[in-house]
Chains A and B, each alone.
Chain A
Amino acid sequence: MDTESQYSGYSYKSGHSRSSRKHRDRRDRHRSKSRDGSRGDKSVTIQAPGEPLLDNESTRGDERDDNWGETTTVVTGTSEHSISHDDLTRIAKDMEDSVPLDCSRHLGVAAGATLALLSFLTPLAFLLLPPLLWREELEPCGTACEGLFISVAFKLLILLLGSWALFLRRPKASLPRVFVLRALLMVLVFLLVVSYWLFYGVRILDARERSYQGVVQFAVSLVDALLFVHYLAVVLLELRQLQPQFTLKVVRSTDGASRFYNVGHLSIQRVAVWILEKYYHDFPVYNPALLNLPKSVLAKKVSGFKVYSLGEENSTNNSTGQSRAVIAAAARRRDNSHNEYYYEEAEHERRVRKRRARLVVAVEEAFTHIKRLQEEEQKNPREVMDPREAAQAIFASMARAMQKYLRTTKQQPYHSMESILQHLEFCITHDMTPKAFLERYLAAGPTIQYHKERWLAKQWTLVSEEPVTSGLKDGIVFLLKRHDFSLVVSTKKVPFFKLSEEFVDPKSHKFVMRLQSETSV
């Protein structure tokens, strides 16, 4: 009876917080859009494209059968001050679904594509228009002029290949603000093409220039200029960021997992995307079940003092004195919770090791039951199995040990029975040893190893005090937020190294024995 009423209270609370969170988020988004170029905390969102938006159903992992090793499992209740992890993920997916489709991103891509097409077709137009419009007055094209045709053709081909290599890529992320360098390049190309057209229109079309060689040389100069702009694009977009200038420390706020990276000159939003790419394969997966101190340790930490104030209003002026006395008394009381924590940790460690030993033995034994069929052997076709059947055949003997181990290390949400079977089939197909099969379960791997739909988050929020298009500087700190944890990034400049030289003559290496003689007299 008690638990029923409590549970209904939780669902009301989570629903309430979900709707209020939605409203708060919408207000934040509008506020950040209207605030343009002002200082202060900026909260903008980065959205990784490419994957379809999820529906609610795929996040519900409860329908998964966790009971494949034992008969019953009991779902323990949540504590008073937190909602369960499944509720959190449900709220988050709701928020992600409500993001409107990003038209500005597609607009940018379309503008770039038209500009590229225009600049590519312009030299061809320059070459083709005079013969079309005033063929009779045009001087015939001599040898040098025809040689320039070949040069135009090859340069255009090189430009095409270079643009394909550099620009035609699946975009990695949608950035919150405009990508400054790319916009700069597009403006430059636009100005270049427009100025060339202006000149062409006024001096060649209007004046009906008769020397075709001059026109061809003009077209060649445009292609050269476009190739140089492409070189500039390579340098600005790809090369400048390669030489390391800053060291970044990325710390996950919930459990302190940290890494150091070296980057070159980039703007803050591009650095954020780069860090997210590294995060997915460097950081161990975020496991909220591993965060809290065991309850037995924390429960003892309530303060045992209650202060009752009897009397009139003149007792209020010594209320601060009373609270200070309570704090001092609580501090003087001997706190033994560290002791319990230590023993709890040691016990847990021992339990994990025992389960792990059982698991390793069970898997080793299971793998001895099957072997690969050699070509020469003749076997009854009923006995021959494909990898999936072989996996299913040996899975039963290790299932219980596996499930117990995953439960002890709190990893069971990450591995469903189906995923374990698939991995087992994979290992059997590629002739892996039991140790290789277990590598995935004995250590928490990076996030990208686990099922994409559940753990690969697409929506990240970049929180920064500096404008996100400004470049990295020494001492900048910014946050990459998810709904349940955030990555804190701090920047430090790579020091300037003063390298000096010392010449060592190879013949100068000489040694003597250490003497400790004893003489009798």
Chain B
Amino acid sequence: MLLQGHQLRDGCVQPGQQRVEIHKLRQGENLILGFSIGGGIDQDPSQNPFSEDKTDKGIYVTRVSEGGPAEIAGLQIGDKIMQVNGWDMTMVTHDQARKRLTKRSEEVVRLLVTRQSLQKAVQQSMLS
């Protein structure tokens, strides 16, 4: 079986990154997370308003619905999702990303995200 994607099992978090644990909410038949994603290797990276580098084809959080599980867990708009439950999200298509997030068998997703404010804080602390 060809393994698609990259499952990472390292436990350490690099500086500038944050772990976010979202518990999915059941709404009727669906499990929703309460945010929207944009980006992917098959998309146009120059249209991404949240990325610093306009060639970045990663998955970004474009909207966080109020009161949803993502907001409760601390996910913010503009975050770049690096991993979902250990699966790498930096080199996936948009559809693959959606599938990884909306697996019916998982009730909890653990995301590894990075955001610009975190990166800046790390840089400042490194300089000082």
Residues of A within 8 A of B63 (CB): 518, 520
Point out the residue from B33, B35, B38, B102 that lies within 8 Å of A517, measured CB to CB.
Answer: B38
Interface residues of B in 6-40 (CB under 8 A from A): 32-33, 35-38
Residues of A within 8 A of B43 (CB): 515-517
Point out the residue from B44, B48, B65, B98 that lies within 8 Å of A519, measured CB to CB.
Answer: B98
Inter-subunit contact B37/A519 (CB<8 Å) = yes
Point out the residue from A514, A516, A520 that lies within 8 Å of B36, measured CB to CB.
Answer: A520
A383 to B37, CA, bound (A): 87
Residues of B within 8 A of A517 (CB): 38, 43, 94
Inter-subunit contact B36/A518 (CB<8 Å) = yes
**Is A165 interfacial (CB 8 A cutoff)?**
no
**Is A521 interfacial (CB 8 A cutoff)?**
yes
Task: With A516-B43, A521-B102 given, name 14 new contacts (CB 8 A).
Answer: A516-B38, A516-B47, A517-B94, A518-B36, A518-B38, A520-B35, A520-B36, A520-B37, A520-B63, A521-B32, A521-B33, A521-B36, A521-B37, A521-B98
Residues of A within 8 A of B48 (CB): 516
A237 to B79, CA, bound (A): 78
Residues of B within 8 A of A514 (CB): 44, 47
- Least CB distance from B41 to A in Å reads 11
**Is B76 interfacial (CB 8 A cutoff)?**
no
A517 to B96, CA, bound (A): 13
**Is B91 interfacial (CB 8 A cutoff)?**
no
- Can you give 14 A-B contacts (C-beta < 8 A)? A515-B43, A515-B44, A516-B38, A516-B47, A517-B43, A518-B36, A518-B37, A518-B38, A518-B62, A519-B36, A520-B37, A520-B63, A521-B35, A521-B101
- Least CB distance from A521 to B in Å reads 5
Residues of A in contact (CB 8 Å), total 8
B-binding residues in A (CB < 8 A): 514-521
Residues of A within 8 A of B47 (CB): 514, 516
Q: Which residue of B lies closest to A517 (CB)?
A: B94
Residues of B within 8 A of A519 (CB): 36-38, 94, 98
Residues of A within 8 A of B62 (CB): 518
Residues of B in contact (CB 8 Å), total 18
- Least CB distance from B76 to A in Å reads 16
A519 to B101, CA, bound (A): 11
A516 to B43, CA, bound (A): 6
**Is B107 interfacial (CB 8 A cutoff)?**
no
Residues of A within 8 A of B102 (CB): 521
Point out the residue from A515, A520, A521 that lies within 8 Å of B42, measured CB to CB.
Answer: A515
Q: Which residue of A lies closest to B48 (CB)?
A: A516
Beyond A521-B98, A521-B101, A521-B102, is A516–B37 a contact (Cβ under 8 Å)? Answer: no
Residues of A within 8 A of B101 (CB): 521
- Least CB distance from B60 to A in Å reads 10
A514 to B48, CA, bound (A): 12
A275 to B65, CA, bound (A): 76
8 interchain residue pairs of minimum CB distance: A520-B36, A516-B47, A514-B44, A521-B101, A518-B38, A515-B43, A521-B33, A519-B98
Q: Which residue of A lies closest to B100 (CB)?
A: A521
Residues of A within 8 A of B42 (CB): 515
A304 to B28, CA, bound (A): 92
Residues of B within 8 A of A521 (CB): 32-33, 35-37, 98, 101-102
Q: Which residue of A lies closest to B44 (CB)?
A: A514
Residues of A within 8 A of B35 (CB): 520-521
A438 to B43, CA, bound (A): 60
Q: Which residue of A lies closest to B42 (CB)?
A: A515
- Scan B93-106; emit 1 where CB is below 8 A from any A CB, else 0: 01000100110000
- Least CB distance from A338 to B in Å reads 42
A390 to B43, CA, bound (A): 75
A131 to B94, CA, bound (A): 106
A521 to B39, CA, bound (A): 14
A265 to B65, CA, bound (A): 78
A515 to B102, CA, bound (A): 21
A130 to B42, CA, bound (A): 98
Q: Which residue of B lies closest to A513 (CB)?
A: B44
A519 to B42, CA, bound (A): 14
Q: Which residue of B lies closest to A516 (CB)?
A: B47
A519 to B62, CA, bound (A): 9
- Least CB distance from B81 to A in Å reads 10
A515 to B62, CA, bound (A): 15
A517 to B44, CA, bound (A): 9
A53 to B80, CA, bound (A): 88
- Least CB distance from A110 to B in Å reads 79
Residues of B within 8 A of A520 (CB): 32, 35-37, 63, 65
Residues of A within 8 A of B38 (CB): 516-519
- Least CB distance from B65 to A in Å reads 8
A514 to B32, CA, bound (A): 28
